[in-house]
Structure 1
Amino acid sequence: MSASVKLATSMPGDPQTNGVDALAPILVREGLGEIDEQLRVGIIWFDTSKVTTNSDTGDHVPTIRVRRIEPVGVVGDVDPSIVAAVEAAVERRTGRKAIPFGIVEVSSDGAFGDPDQRAIDDPEDEN
């Protein structure tokens, strides 16, 4: 969980700006275990709704609010041009090779997916 940025919990109410509502029936079936859960990709537009000051440390923590959200598809079906754009954005932000598109969690040692998988910056991975 991020200690630097918080996420507001409300979603946009207008169907023109909230494409996720259209997925509600499928998401309910997944949540109830009626069908297999699928990892989905979406694009969000967001801004800052407020900034909280930690009175102990003086740190300022912004809370972002989702202003628009559009589902793109199931992670394995996302258009390659979107995958490439996301990977390029990650590389610009981090200065490192992007983790594989379908991975959403990275362990503290930089490994992901299969526990036997090397970290993305493992020198042995460079060929």
Structure 2
Amino acid sequence: MPKLSANLPKGDADGLGPIARDLIEFPHRQHVVIAVVDCKGVTTDFDTGATVPTVRIRRIEVVDRADLPEAERLVRRALERRSGLIVLPLDLEDELTVAFKRIDPKTGELLDDEPVDTTPED
């Protein structure tokens, strides 16, 4: 299983600035981003022979609200391709629905201005 490097790209390649305030004020609100990654390095456990790649984020951008319906479609397609499932299990479908539920899938418009709390229920 790959590990994720803790560092974000420097300069213009870090597109998270526009949501920094929102991340502070609403830490449980989910955001959709698109990232370009590569391998920063590989760690080898000499006892087991296991090798683990470390993923580096080369560029990351926040998906605009108007583009969320298309982003949702792309995430669903990639997840279906990776999992080999044509119909996603209900729990995965629900997780994706929560991430995109404030967006009208036909217009891409924000349905309300209320923050959505995505904290898992007990």
Fold conserved between structures, TM > 0.5: yes
Matching residue of 1:12: 9
Matching residue of 1:88: 77
Query: One-letter code of the match for 1:28?
Result: I
Pick closer, same or farther for the CA change 1:73–1:102 going to 2, 3 Å: farther
Segments of 5+ residues of structure 1 without an aligned counterpart are 32-36, 105-112, 116-127
Q: How does 1:1-127 map to 2 (within 5 A)?
A: 4-15=1-12, 17-31=13-27, 37-72=28-63, 79-96=68-85, 97-98=87-88, 99-100=92-93, 101-102=96-97
Could you report, residue by residue, the CA deviation over 1:32-62 in whole angstroms, capped at 9, with x for unpaired residues?
xxxxx31111111000000000122011100
CA distance in structure 2 between the aligned counterparts of 1:78 and 1:61, rounded to whole angstroms = 34
Pairs aligned (count): 96
State the shift of 1:78 in Å: 5.6
TM value normalised by structure 1: 0.64
Q: Whose relative contact order is higher, 1 or 2, with alpha carbons under 8 Å and at least 6 apart?
A: 2
Identity of aligned residues (%): 32
Pick closer, same or farther for the CA change 1:82–1:71 going to 2, 3 Å: same
TM value normalised by structure 2: 0.67
| Structure (1/2) with the larger helix percentage | 2
Cα RMSD of the aligned pairs, angstroms, is: 2.5
